[in-house]
Homo-oligomer: A and B are copies of this chain.
């Protein structure tokens, strides 16, 4: 049974919100009713921010991450090592690595991950651009920082094959027992790798 809305504007707004992933019609209705109670200027700003986001946001021509300028802040920062490239799936991962404050190189955003199930192949990603950068000879090391899923491993392997003809060091994130993990419940592959790749014990140190 379809719900009869007392207002077309209300119905339109509920439809728009419920088109978002994870937002059902009840939640959409609640969000719209919340917006109706807010100040007109605030709601206007909300609407304009969304419109502006899609129109004005651009992608950095160097790393392909989201940026407000043709070249993003990280890529245009002279203090960063541009011979060290961290390959990530998306801009969320750029932010995750940036938050560790442990990385001083630059990024290369693939824009996804190879996933035959979702119909994403190598040509949908920025792998050609990555190869060009490596071919130019200025890159010393490429860090593959993808998720440790089957798709991540496939993408790692594909990129490795594409880059191996060139004189570049290809590394990947260390695998091991995460901070806070209980050994008893750690999966055997991770635990096995963490034994094989064991390192000299050292006292904790800052950054």
> Which residues of A pack against B, CB within 8 Å?
1, 3-10, 12-13, 16, 19-23, 27, 29-36, 38, 40, 43-57, 60, 65-68, 72-74, 90-92, 94-95, 98-99
User: How near does chain B come to A207, taking the closest CB pair, in angstroms?
Assistant: 13
Interface of A is mostly: helix
Contact A95/B50 with A31-B21, A40-B55, A57-B36 known, Cβ cut-off 8 Å: no
Top 4 A-B residue pairs of the complex, sorted by shortest distance between their CB atoms: A47-B51, A43-B54, A47-B50, A47-B47
Contact A16/B49 with A4-B98, A6-B67 known, Cβ cut-off 8 Å: yes
Pick the residue among B6, B65, B74 that contacts A95 (CB under 8 A): B6
A90: chain B residues within 8 A (beta carbon): 33
Pick the residue among B38, B53, B72, B74 that contacts A12 (CB under 8 A): B53
